[in-house]
Amino acid sequence: MARSPLLQTLRPVRGRLVGSLLLMVVSTVAGLVPLVGIVELARILLPALTGSPVDGGRAWVVVWVSVGALLVRLATVLGSSWLSHVADLDLSIHLRRLLVARLGRVPLAWFTERNSGTVKKAVQDDVAALHHLVAHSVMELTAAITLPSVVAVYLFVVSPPLALVTLVPLALGLAGFRISMRGAGALYRDYDAGLAELAAATVENTGGIAEIKTFGATGQAHRRLAEVATRFGGFNRAWMRHSALGMLLMELALTPALTLVLVLGAGVWMLRSGWVTGLDLVPFLVLGLAMTAPVTVAGYAARELREATEAARRIQRLLAEPELPQPASPAPVPASSRVELHDVSFAYSPGAPPVLHGIDLVLEPGTVTALVGHSGSGKSTLTKLLPRFADPTAGRITIAGTDLREMTSAQLYEQVSFVFQDTGLLRTSIRDNIRLAHPEAPDSEVRRAAEGAQIAGRIDELPRGYDSVVGEDGQLSGGERQRVAIARALLSDTPILVLDEATAAADPESEALVQRALSRLVAGRTLLVIAHRLSTVTAADQIVVLDEGRVAELGTHEELRARGGRYARLWAADQRAHPADGWAEEESA
Amino acid sequence: MITIVRPLADLVDRDHRRQLTRVVAMFVTTGVLQGLAFACVVPVLDAALRQDWPAATTWLLVLAGLFVAHHIALTVGNLDGYDLACDLLDITLARLGDHTVRLPLGWYDQDRTGQLSRMASKGATDIASVPGHLLRPLISAVVSPVTVVVVMAFLEWRLALALLVGVVAVLATTRLLAVIVGRGEGAYDAAMAQGSARVVEFALNQPALRVFGRTVHGNELVETALREQKRASRRLLVTGFGGLGIQLLSIQALLTLVIALAVHLSLGGTLAPATAIGLLVLTVRFVESLIDYGELSSALRIAEGSLRRVLDVLALEPLPEPATPAEPADSGIELREVAFSYDGSTRVLDEVSLVAPPRSLTAVVGPSGSGKSTLLRLVARFHDVTAGSVMLGGVDVRDLGTEALMRRVSIVFQDVYLFEGTLRDNVLMSRPGATEDDLAEAARLARADDIVERLPHGWQTRIGEAGSTLSGGEKQRVSIARALLKDAPVVLLDEATAALDAENEAAVQEALTALSADRTVIVIAHRLQTVVAADQIVVLDGGRIVERGSHSELLAHGGRYLDFWRERTQAEGWRLLEAPQGPQSP
């Protein structure tokens, strides 16, 4: 069953939308009442011209009916608008909750393939794009269709030939619209491409401004931007020139002056010819000009409808993203922290070349396994499979013999945690950040974790201590944020830990403190660590050298050095970059 | 209406200002002619109802004349307006481009990118739409009812007075509505921004949220923000609603009031019935113009906002440039009593004096926030000093001018920006005339030759937006190759290299060593080799130089530098897998 994504998205609020629409119809008709009242007044007052008596009482009835219509209009317009806005509010929060809930269940790898902008666009911008449609466009469009329809029927009842005359401007306006849009597709595509190019060039000129200036390319970059701007200006001009005639025709046709001239000219002529009475002219002058109003509104509404449909499509696509499968019945609690990888392969997408091939590896409880290799060798991919950012494409990973896929998230994360370079701190109090895994943890435990992570002193210095909100109260440096993240891992206290050693080196300002915190964190755990500086992991129980997604070498530091292979070469490079030995003597010299 | 025309005039040159005046005048004429055409309804209808055909014909001819004049003015004004719209787009983009390139580098930060690119795309088209689409209906919605009232004042002053009072009431309520909605909008925007930030945070931190087992808690933060969003929208809705009701009520009440008044006057015999009907028709036209104006006002607000933002940027002071750039004597750098403040009150640097002779290596060390990066940025004239002076070769950098300064300085900072284009373009940009040999040599020294080898299309490989196809270390090596090729006598360096694998790190360091050879170097130092090799070391703390000297002098001195040295040696010798090295020192 192929249903419009828009209708599907609006389904939860369709009752109220229909209600809003009906009220809007009533309101539009009520808005016409005073105008029809003027026509009625003409019928009552004009006989005075021929000396007939005027029914003053009836004239006042017309006035009071107009007042009544005013109140009806007020009530219905507010009611309609209220219904549609409330529907919009409920729909927005409903969709956002659904989206957020879905995001919490898709495989983590899904996020690595997209940037946060995509997520924000779906949850905030696309939902907001529906807002205008639900809260405004539906009402506006209803009014824009109801008004001319009711008026047209009324005018045709009064005088069919004169009613036909009022349709002339409408026909001309539509013709102008058609002319302005004819063959515009290609021009519009150029215009859009030019706009995108302009935005990109501006981004480049702003983001790379330091490089542009220091490498003396100011003139060149400036010229490029100017060229792009000129090209876009040219597209704009071509587009404008192409549509100018049609747009002008549309304006000329839809201006009230044309309808006025046509109605009065034709009306007086028909009056003289006896086709209409003088009274018949009045409704055309009062209401006839309303006929042209819908053209512009319909144009806007059509565009909004298109945009909202696109937004709804993106929302539905996101809501249909497959979730990371959860087991039907939870596995028994693992008896140990022994991790095994059996013939694990992984590719980021079904067709893509695998980044890991047939990895076999055992992490004995309480031991340290270090992963080394070039960037792109698969180290970080491998570490991300253990906390189940994604599932292996082939093979299996087990903890104490149980496949990760048979464990619930809660079970898995009681066993595994990690510290990576991006700290993952939330904009909330430091206390809540540290006790993320155990929200009920007492302050004493939070404090102990902070002390272990070498950050307690710094937190005490902050004006609001543990209540300081990350990113608001006093800026934490990179190294400080990392130590808060380490405190969090300490508090969560899982037997298995995945770590990126580069965490320590990311902020040279406080490297030593982060190092101390890390040493404290890893003690006694089953550890899988990505090592950048090999000297830090020479004591590892096993070192795994990865190369193009395969295990190239496996052994202890001494064994691998003796082998004279890849590891030995990496070690030599490491020593060149960090000739640390000998500095201690420098100080005493 | 004035609020949009005047800033538009500020944006353009004299010729275009004249064109703008012409367009506005043409549209005002259109509005007056339209108002007069509306007014013709009264005599035409009156004559027609009285079957006075000669009078009807005369007035119809007058109406036809007004109509023709109106359509001519409309055509001329519109075509001129379309033309102006195109020029305005070009002018906005050109002025933005010309101006921003002269702004101090310090003005550019992360927020600017999005801000400027929005300004150049959406902002500029918003501005161009003013003479193209907005001005005509807007002017007509104001001028034609005014004309109607004036004409009506001659025909029946009592109804005209009623309309005038009504207009004032409607405008006042529109104003009130804008104020009320505007107040709610602030809170609404804040709630929306907060919600967006939470959603992005939720997405970015999914790994941590899940692994720490509390997606629930993460959800709580998002949920709170979403609820706050809804509350703010509802508040905006309620306040906006009151305003909307009042506005609608006042417009329709005005119409009803005039109808009642016309009935009263007509029944009282002081207003001829045919005239009364004609005047009521006129009133309907008048009221509809008011409604149009209300509908256009939001488009007007958007255009005004875009225009104001562009003008704000154009009003920023560019870095002053000397008329004739001075000629520096050598590549030595000197800071004399330099003070600097970003906000005008807190000094980030104070009383900093420093001499870096030609071809010397100066290492800057100090805790984070001590002003190290600011010092480097002042030498490169990202900002001008608040007090004191920065000299290159005995000449104040302000007398040297940006271009001459930049010719002599290479900068390698942490965040490297690579441009869309080939690898070759990215390196060659620093010296477009370089020979193949120069290019190969720079690549070799920067250890970028293996990158060229690794990439499928070698030098011709296209680098994605912001250089996304290269790793961090590779990007750094490309930027060093660029700096080497430029061969500037002064090098400013920030050593803080983000985590690199061992091989990359060794390569980057060798590249930096090559770049520093034989040049005046000021480096924010983190590596032990660098400080040991430095001719002088400057220790910054709280924006002041607290110690200076050579490595051995400073070690012997036993102050801050010794702490730095101890910490760095300890970090270098760290082993993840040894027992913790004792309690944290306070």
Tell me which residue in A108, A206, A214 faces B410 most closely, judged by beta carbons. Answer: A214
Token pair for residue B571?
Answer: 């970090």
As a whole number of angstroms, the distance between CA B408 and CA B406 comes to: 5
Distance CA A561, CA A575 (A): 13
Instruction: Please tell me the predicted confidence (pLDDT) of residue A200.
Output: 79
From the list A148, A210, A157, A276, the residue with the least C-alpha distance to B101 is A210
Q: Which residues of A touch B208 (CB under 8 A)?
A: 423-425, 436, 485, 488
Whether residue B417 is predicted with pLDDT greater than 90 in this model: the reply is: no
Give the three-state DSSP class for A551.
strand
Tell me the pLDDT band of B411, cut-offs 50, 70 and 90: confident
Per-residue pLDDT reduced to its tens digit, A37-66: 999 988 888 887 777 788 888 889 999 998
What digits encode the pLDDT tens for the residues A338-397?
999 999 999 877 777 888 999 999 999 999 999 998 877 888 889 989 988 888 999 999
Widest pairwise Cα distance in chain B? 115
Q: Which residue of A has its CA nearest to B472?
A: A375
- Closest CA–CA distance from residue B448 to any residue of chain A (Å): 16
Give the number of other Cβ atoms within 10 Å of residue A15's Cβ. Answer: 11
Sign of CA dihedral A241, A246, A247, A252: positive
- What is residue B584's predicted lDDT score, i.e. its pLDDT? 38
Which tokens go with A217? 């390319």
Q: What is the dihedral of CA B194, B199, B203, B209, to 10 degrees?
A: 80
Task: Measure CA A209 to chain center.
Answer: 28
Residue B231 confidence (pLDDT) above 50: yes
Q: Is B451 at the interface with chain A, CB within 8 A?
A: no
Q: What is the DSSP string of B500-558?
A: --HHHHHHHHHHHHHHHTTSEEEEE--SHHHHHH-SEEEEEETTEEEEEE-HHHHHHHT
B281 within 8 A of A38, measured Cβ to Cβ: yes
Q: How far apart are CA A457 and CA A445, in angstroms?
A: 15
What's the confidence (pLDDT) of residue B1? 64
- In the structure encoding, which two tokens stand for residue B160, read together? 């005209």
Give the pLDDT score at B578.
65
pLDDT of B198 higher than 90: no
A279-338 pLDDT per residue, tens: 888 999 888 877 776 667 777 777 778 888 888 888 888 888 888 787 877 777 778 889
CA-CA distances (angstroms) from residue A405 to A64, A365, B424? Answer: 75, 20, 47
Pick B557 or B415 by higher pLDDT.
Answer: B557
The pLDDT assigned to B386 comes to 92
Q: For residue A212, what are the contacts with CB-CB under 8 A and spacing of at least 6?
A: A205, A218, A221
**Lowest-confidence segment of A376-385, A489-498, B182-191 by average pLDDT:** B182-191
For residues A577 and B506, the answer to whether their CB atoms sit within 8 Å is yes
Helix, strand, coil percentages in chain B from 3-state DSSP, rounded to 5? 65, 10, 25
- pLDDT confidence of B583, banded at 50, 70, 90? very low
Q: Across the interface, which of A202, A233, A420 has its CB nearest the CB of B86?
A: A233
pLDDT reading at B35 higher than 50: yes
**Alpha-carbon gap: B388 to the closest alpha carbon of chain A (Å):** 23
The answer, for A129 touching chain B at a CB cutoff of 8 Å, is: no
Element (H, E) at B67: helix B53-100
Q: In the numeric block, which tokens belong to residue B487?
A: 């061969």
Query: Residue A342 in 3-state DSSP?
Result: strand
b or e along A46-64 (b: 16 or more beta carbons within 10 Å of the residue's beta carbon)?
bebeeeeebeeeebeebbe
Q: Inspect the interface and report whether the beta carbons of A426 and B44 lie closer than 8 Å.
A: no
Q: How would you class B6 by CB atoms within 10 Å of its CB: exposed for 0-12, middle for 13-18, buried for 19 or more?
A: exposed
Higher-confidence position of B5 and B299: B5
* Contact criterion met (CB < 8 Å) for A237 and B409: no
**Burial zone of B453 (CB within 10 Å; 0-12 exposed, 13-18 middle, 19+ buried):** exposed
Q: Are A520 and A483 in contact (CB under 8 A)?
A: no
Q: Which residues of B touch A194 (CB under 8 A)?
A: none
- pLDDT value at residue B466: 43
Residue among A226, A426, A437 minimizing CB distance to B213: A437
pLDDT > 80? residue B353: yes
Nearest to B108 among A120, A206, A255 (CB): A206
Is the per-residue pLDDT at A17 higher than 50? yes
Contacts of A457 in chain B (CB under 8 A): 584, 586
- Specify the pLDDT at position A411: 85
Cβ burial of A24 (10 Å; 0-12, 13-18, 19+) is: buried
* Residues 4 through 63 of chain A touching chain B, CB cutoff 8 Å: 31, 34-35, 37-38, 41-42, 45-46, 48-49, 54, 56, 59-60, 62-63
Query: By the CB < 8 Å criterion, does A299 face chain B?
Result: no
Q: What's B462's DSSP letter?
A: E
> Is A413 in contact with B210 (CB distance < 8 Å)?
yes
Are residues B24 and B5 in contact, defined by beta-carbon separation less than 8 angstroms?
yes
Q: Higher pLDDT residue, A511 or B151?
A: B151
Question: Side chain identity at B283, as an amino acid letter?
Answer: T
In angstroms, the CA B160 to CA B166 distance is: 10
- Confidence band, pLDDT 50/70/90 cuts, at residue B579: very low
Candidates A93, A225, A539; nearest CB to B575: A539
List A residues 308-367 in contact with B (Cβ-Cβ < 8 A): none
Tell me the ipTM for this assembly: 0.76
Token pair for residue B513? 């060593």
For the residues A132-144, what does the mean pLDDT come to?
81
| Chain B residues whose beta carbon lies within 8 Å of the beta carbon of residue A583 | 528, 569, 572-573
Chain B nearest-CA residue for A94:
B226
pLDDT in tens, B494-515: 876 544 566 667 777 777 788 8
The pLDDT of residue A247 is 86
DSSP code per residue over A153-175: HHHHHH-HHHHHHHHHHHHHHHH
- CB neighbourhood size of A328 (10 A): 6
Instruction: Characterize A346-375 residue by residue with b for buried, 16 or more Cβ atoms within 10 angstroms of its Cβ, and e for exposed.
Output: bbeeeeeebbbbebebebeeebbbbbbbbe
Nearest to B281 among A285, A436, A454 (CB): A285
How confident is the model over A235-251, as pLDDT tens digits? 888 888 888 888 899 88
Cite the DSSP H helix spans in B205-272: 206-211, 215-267
Mean pLDDT (whole number) for A387-409: 89
Report the alpha-carbon distance of residue B85 to residue B79 in Å, rounded. 10
- Range of weakest confidence among A27-31, A106-110, B95-99, B450-454: A106-110
* Cα of A237 to nearest chain B Cα, Å: 6
Which pLDDT belongs to residue A64? 92
Q: Are B491 and B380 in contact (CB under 8 A)?
A: no
Give the pLDDT band of residue A1 (cuts 50, 70, 90): very low
Here the tokens at position B481 are: 């190759």
Cβ–Cβ gap B241/A120 under 8 Å? no
Q: What is the mean pLDDT of residues A253-261?
A: 89
Pick from B334, B348, B486: which is nearest to B408 by CA?
B486
Q: Do B505 and A532 touch (CB under 8 A)?
A: yes
Mutate to test the interface with A, among B463, B576, B577 (most CBs of A within 10 A): B576
Which A residues in the span 136-195 are in contact with B, Cβ-Cβ below 8 Å?
195
Q: Position B258: which residue type? A: V
Q: How many CB atoms lie within 10 A of CB A135?
A: 22
Shortest distance, CA B119 to any CA of chain A (angstroms)? 9
A383 and A530 Cβ atoms separated by less than 8 Å = yes
Q: Do A66 and B259 touch (CB under 8 A)?
A: yes
Helices (H) and strands (E) in chain A, counts: 25, 10
pTM of the model: 0.77
Q: What is the pLDDT of residue A343?
A: 95
Average pLDDT for residues A189-195, to the nearest whole number? 82
CB distance B199–A119 less than 8 Å? yes
For B563, name the nearest residue in chain A, comparing CA atoms only. A587
Amino acid letter, A508: P
Q: pLDDT at position A116, please? A: 62
HEC assignment per residue over A389-402: CCCCCEEEEEECCE
In this prediction, residues B370-386 reach a mean pLDDT of: 89
Question: Which chain B residue shows the shortest CA-CA distance from A206?
Answer: B113
Residue B236 has pLDDT above 80, yes or no: no
- The answer, yes or no, to whether residue B292 has pLDDT greater than 50, is yes
Distance CA B72, CA B119 (A): 35
| Residues listed for chain A | 589
| A381 membership: H or E segment, kind and range | helix A379-385
Comparison of pLDDT for B200 and A78, the residue scoring more = A78
Residue A422 has pLDDT above 80, yes or no: no
Which residue has tokens 């009592």? B158
A588 pLDDT band, cuts 50/70/90, is: very low
For residue B464, name the pLDDT band (cuts at 50, 70, 90).
low
Whether the CB-CB separation of A411 and A331 falls below 8 Å is answered with yes
- Other CB atoms within a 10 A radius of the CB of residue B250 amount to 18
The answer to whether the beta carbons of residues B131 and B5 sit under 8 Å apart is no
